[in-house]
Amino acid sequence: MISCLILSALMFLIVTFFVVIMNDCSVISVIYAAFLMFLYIRMTFAEHKKSGSGVIYRRIFQTVFAVGFCMAFISDLYAERGSMAITENALSSAELPFCHIAIPQVLVPLLVTKNIIFPARITGHYAAVASMLLIWFICTITVGRGWCSWICFYGGWEEGFSHVAKKRRIKLLPKNKELREFHFGFFFFIILASLCELACVYCDWFCPFKLVTEFAPATSIPTLIAMILFIGLFVGLVVVLPILTKKRTQCSSLCPFGAFASLTDRFSLFGMKIDTQKCSGCMKCATTCPFSAIDIKTIQEKKGHPEITCAKCGECVGVCPQKAISYEFRFRLNKGGCACGSSGSGKKSALQELLHPAHLFRFAAFTFSAIMSSGFMIKALNLVCNFVTSIGGAK
Amino acid sequence: MVLEAILLGLSTGTYCTMYCGPVLIPFLCGSEKIGYKRNSGLVGVFLLARLATYFVLGAVFAALGFLLNEYCDPVLARKLSTFAYIFCGLSLLCNSLGVKFPWGCGENGGCRAPKLRRMGNDWITAIVTGLAVGLHVCPPLWTAMLRSVFGGNGITGLFYFVFFYIGTLPFFIPLLGIPFIAKRLPVIRRISRVTQFCVSLYFLIFLGLISLL
């Protein structure tokens, strides 16, 4: 209990500074800060009561952030260019916003040619290459692939749609391995094609999120084909399949950043472990996992951890009837292994509870999310307020 | 002249490997049998096929010389590249789907050309993709080609081309180490097959057919 209060107090300080003070203490920023604090406190105390029961607050946050981000981003585009379409001027002057999905595509050509192949600013902008690379680096060593389930402003769309239907219409569990192989196969294709073409091939042809951000205007047959592709991919992989499968299909089959984050996740501080002694093999975790990171083989072969694509969303923690899945520190703090978070006998001290990997991971991920979302969400909330006021005024 | 050609190859070889990488890396990693000898053989066959195309191109361009300016389409390089992508995409697609070439031998069926019995699907793919990649006129190749065309007589131009090619070869040496990784990570083979399939469709549709529209 004390650990929850300490963490909530620390989060309050972080949210106050990054959300309220950094946004001139506006009313909207206070409202958003209150929303964040509500989510964090509810999540922390729910997790304290029953581990895995706080995931609903993560889902709410990510879905709201995805919608808010797109609203703020599109309004920015309209203010700057008058449309969502990429203009010749923006393209030639390298003014396109750079997003994290483009990172794996630019890294290899950057190493070979010493050039950034994406037409974006290098510094001096929130969506510049340097700032996104810095965010990616911090993310890699802290939450790792947890980015996808906590912070990614696109993933929230799938998160939302995957919880629309009550029943799972298509079961992907027997195809998890093939899905992962396709994901990495597609990732390597994107890397090689980007290197060959010296262009961000995924952004040019396969990104489904162009529908909710910016896109090349359909002025020729290739751009028309690209438009058909991104609309089709958005409808198929971000809307229809998540509803039918209750999985994040785009994140676990197409997104190159997801595959890249899976490969670099071993450098992060946190991981997930499956206690093979406790596990009864009921497969509830494998069925629930939205990232297809737990297979029948993972459980049968007693691997002791989910597969490489685990995004540490915590969905499996809550559904496990044996409480066999938990967060862990990837690096042992001392020779005998860290006792932090171990459910040993006897009463846990407040400090031990505070240093529990699950608490610390959620704290790190939520801090990251709060900082990343504040600017966009406050802009989106301002837009909603203006819209509501204008409707009220018109009446 | 020889030194200049080799140095041109050495200084621009990175770009050659960047163009050949999407063809060779998934193909070699996803190869039917993994072994150093076989892998080196496939790389060698691919490079020899590429050299054969270069040799033909070099001979044609060197023979044409200044006539090239008069009679050749200025966007020839682009057209050649488009056809190279289609040609290469088709052969990679066949390989990734396990389709046997007409002269290949089936599991139980007879061979159309028994003398080529030992030529498996991978070897044919290495030759075909090598020939196709040779047609892809990348910037370094274009530089060598122009130097060869306007460099003097036909034979000199031809050899300039060959030495340029030799200059690019060191960049392919890392590919010989592919079995080292593939043997340790068997999943690489299946992933590479997917990559090869995606690359083949990308070459065929996005870089080939769409460019023709």
Q: What is the pLDDT of residues B71-95, one digit of tens each?
A: 666 677 778 888 889 989 998 998 8
Chain A contact present for B212, CB below 8 A:
no
Q: What value does the mean pLDDT take over residues A358-378?
A: 93
| A284 and A243 share one domain | no
In chain A, the residue whose alpha carbon lies closest to the alpha carbon of B211 is A222
Answer whether residue A113 shows pLDDT above 90: no
pLDDT tens for A307-357 read: 999 999 999 999 999 999 999 998 765 544 454 544 444 456 778 788 889
A91 and A236 inside one domain: yes
Q: Give the model's pLDDT for residue A210.
A: 86
Same domain? For A286 and A316 the reply is yes
Instruction: Note the pLDDT tens digit of each residue in A124-157.
Output: 777 889 999 999 999 999 999 999 999 999 999 9
Q: Is the CB of residue B69 less than 8 Å away from at least one CB of chain A?
A: no
Q: Does a structural domain hold residue A38? A: no
B198/A201 touch (CB, cutoff 8 Å), yes or no: no
A379: in domain: yes
> What was the pLDDT predicted at A336?
46
- A23-37, A285-299, B4-18, B115-129: which range is least confident on average? B115-129
- Could you tell me if A170 and A284 lie in one domain? no
User: Does a structural domain hold residue A144?
Assistant: yes
Interface probe with A: pick from B197, B202, B204, most Cβ of A within 10 Å? B202
The pLDDT of residue A37 is 96
Distance CA A283, CA A16 (A): 42
Residue A295 maps to a domain: yes
Would you say residue A40 has pLDDT above 60?
yes
- How distant, in Å, are the alpha carbons of A58, A145, A381, B39 from that of A64? 10, 20, 11, 51
Of B21, B198, B213, the CB nearest to A196: B21
> Which chain B residues are Cβ-neighbours of A179 within 8 angstroms?
none
Q: Does B51 touch chain A (CB under 8 A)?
A: no
- Measure in Å the smallest separation between the Cα of A360 and chain B Cα atoms: 33
B65 touches chain A (CB under 8 A): no
Neighbours of A334 (CB within 10 A): 7
Q: Determine, yes or no, domain membership for A390.
A: yes
> Which sequence spans correspond to the domains of chain B?
2-212
Task: Based on the fold, state whether residues A253 and A165 are members of the same structural domain.
Answer: yes
Residue of B nearest to A111 (CA): B14
Residues of B in contact with A225 (CB under 8 A): 210
Instruction: Write the ipTM.
Output: 0.89
Same domain? For A218 and A81 the reply is: yes
| Helices assigned H by DSSP within chain B | 2-29, 36-64, 67-71, 76-97, 121-135, 139-149, 154-168, 178-184, 187-201, 210-212
Residue A216 pLDDT: 84
Residue A335's pLDDT is what? Answer: 46
In a domain, A353, yes or no: no
Same structural domain for residues A259 and A272? no
Q: Decide if A338 is inside a domain.
A: no
Q: Both A95 and A143 in a single domain?
A: yes
pLDDT band at A213 (very low <50, low <70, confident <90, very high): confident
Looking at the fold, whether A170 and A230 belong to one and the same domain comes out as: yes
Q: What is the mean pLDDT of residues A27-39?
A: 95
Indicate if A270 and A204 belong to the same structural domain. no
Considering CB atoms only, which of B18, B19, B195 is closest to A189? B195
- Total-model pTM: 0.91
pLDDT in tens, A46-88: 988 888 788 999 999 999 999 999 999 999 889 888 888 888 8
Q: Cα separation of A29 and B156, whole Å?
A: 73
Cα A52 to Cα A324: distance, rounded to the nearest angstrom? 11
Q: b/e map of B55-80 (b: 16 or more CB within 10 Å)?
A: eebbbebbebbeebeeeeeeeebeeb
Q: Which of A211-215, A290-294, A338-342 has the highest mean pLDDT?
A: A290-294
Look up the domain containing A287 and give its range: 266-330
Digitized pLDDT (tens) for each residue of chain B, 213 residues in all: 788 888 988 988 888 888 889 999 999 998 877 789 999 999 999 999 988 888 887 777 777 766 666 666 667 777 888 888 998 999 899 888 877 655 555 556 566 665 555 555 788 889 989 998 888 877 777 777 777 776 656 677 777 778 888 898 999 999 999 998 888 888 899 999 999 999 999 999 999 998 887
Tell me the residue type at A29.
S
Is the pLDDT at A376 greater than 80, yes or no? Answer: yes
Q: A162 and A258 share a domain?
A: yes
Which residues, 6+ apart, have CB-to-CB distance to A349 below 8 Å?
none
What's the pLDDT score for residue B113? 60
Rounded CA separation A284/A275 (Å): 15
Q: Tell whether A185 is within 8 A of chain B (Cβ).
A: yes
| Overall number of domains in chain A | 2
Chain B hits for A181, CB-CB cut-off 8 Å, are 187, 190-191, 194
What is the longest distance spanned by two Cα atoms in chain A?
70
In a domain? residue A28: no
Average pLDDT, chain A: 89
Report how far residue B54's alpha carbon sits from residue B60's, in angstroms, rounded to the nearest whole number. Answer: 10
Burial of A258 (0-12, 13-18, 19+ CB in 10 A): buried
Which site among B19, B200, B206, B211 would you substitute to test the A interface, given the most A Cβ atoms closer than 10 Å to its Cβ? B206
B175 burial type by CB count under 10 A (0-12 exposed, 13-18 middle, 19+ buried): buried
Q: Are A292 and A302 in the same domain? A: yes
Cβ-defined contact of A193 to B199 (cutoff 8 Å): yes
